[in-house]
Amino acid sequence: MTRVACIGECMIELREEADGRLSRSFGGDTLNTAVYLARLGSQVDYVTALGDDSWSDELIAAWEAEGVGTKRVLRLAGRLPGLYIIQTDTKGERRFSYWRDTAAARLLFQAPEAHTIIASLADDDLVYFSGISLSLYGDEGRGRLFDALRAVRSAGKRVAFDTNFRPRGWPDREIARMAFRQAFACADIILASTEDLELLFESTGTDEVLAFADRAEIVLKHPDLTCRVMLQGKEIVVPGTPADDVVDTTAAGDSFAAAYLHTRLLGKDPEAAARAGHRLAGQVVRYRGAIIPRDAMPQP
């Protein structure tokens, strides 16, 4: 079985209900992808840092219950996980508010204790990270992350990058652009949305990622749910069908990434992978929260 490592941050999630009450769960883009990868049958570890508090204990237990490996979670004394609140409008679109500036996950690529964890990434068949992962670490941490990803590729393994771009996570737009370009250069598979690319690079966004199409597998998602895959000089277009009963779009892209990568790891072609991504994402948006009930997972 292939091994996947997902790098990033999981936070405590508070969801505001219609009556103003808050329900507690957990979420984070790459953690969401890790959970769905595990549910689909991939062997996946989550690579992050947490504190030594009871909430961090709960997160570890919840991930393990989902089949996500936690042996490469660094525990830092005196630190806490990040926190965010989701507010959802009548169309299912959500707004996030974050409390994460001192979260433990930000120290993963700076903590001396993480050396063994970082070195172990070269043992995985696929390492997955996102634009939100990039925003966590600062210049020094990102440099160490990119060094680790280059070691992964030198070992003959693959790297996948998802463009998830959130402006609030970055001190400066130009710093984000430089980091994304470095991520594109490190990735064998780039999962990109035109919305993310235009938000970051403006009118040149698509060109920025297509510049790497000569060597990387480019998965370009459009607002109308059309998915274009560029691989080895060929382009495959896979349309998606909007769900009629959208409740919450949280983790739509994260679940698409999980199904796409899992299908490709099984050796199936990009068209089958994109269809699998559409199928899972289309189900996820019918439920509240990032992680849908296990019995709601679509059949293969």
254 is catalytic: yes
C-alpha closest to that of 163 among 153, 151, 177:
177
C-alpha closest to that of 163 among 136, 137, 199:
199
Q: Which of 52, 89, 254, 269 is catalytic?
A: 254
Report the distance separating Cα 168 and Cα 136, nearest Å.
Answer: 11
List residues with catalytic annotation: 254
